Amino acid sequence: MGNIKQAEFYIKMSVFEAVLFLEEQTVLGLPSVYYKLKTEDKIVAIITFEKYFYRTKSKAGLVITIDNFHENTRVIAHTLAGANFLTSLGAEAAYLKKFKSLFIDKTI
């Protein structure tokens, strides 16, 4: 099975602002699935992306969870990569690094 990489950090944006920001980031590929769950004052958004890497002939998946369950907005990202997600060719680490770099000036 391919390697799973994870990152967790807090940002200076609301859940809604973060989702809008991510929808504009074409470098991640197009979002394929989007869920939003809401209670009275708590929101969790889940977005998935998939990107094909031509150089390694493999693909990487990115699952992002954004919530306001804590004092600040939390972002958790998981990547899984490899040819048909079975073997790791390093794409998951590169994909996660690219994702984290988008929030470099928005991180608490």
Q: Which two tokens stand for residue 9?
A: 């950090």
4 within a domain of the structure (yes/no): no
58 within a domain of the structure (yes/no): yes
19 within a domain of the structure (yes/no): yes
Give the DSSP H/E element, type plus range, for residue 2: none
Q: Which of 29-38, 68-77, 81-90 has the lowest mean pLDDT?
A: 81-90
In tens, the pLDDT along 64-74 reads: 999 999 999 99
Which residues on neighbouring strands pair with residue 74, listed in sequence order?
Answer: 10, 67
3 within a domain of the structure (yes/no): no
The yes-or-no verdict on residue 76 having pLDDT over 80 is yes
Q: How many domains does the chain have?
A: 1
The yes-or-no verdict on residue 1 having pLDDT over 50 is no
In tens, the pLDDT along 3-30 reads: 678 999 999 999 989 988 988 887 777 7
Name the H helices within the chain: 15-23, 91-102
64 within a domain of the structure (yes/no): yes
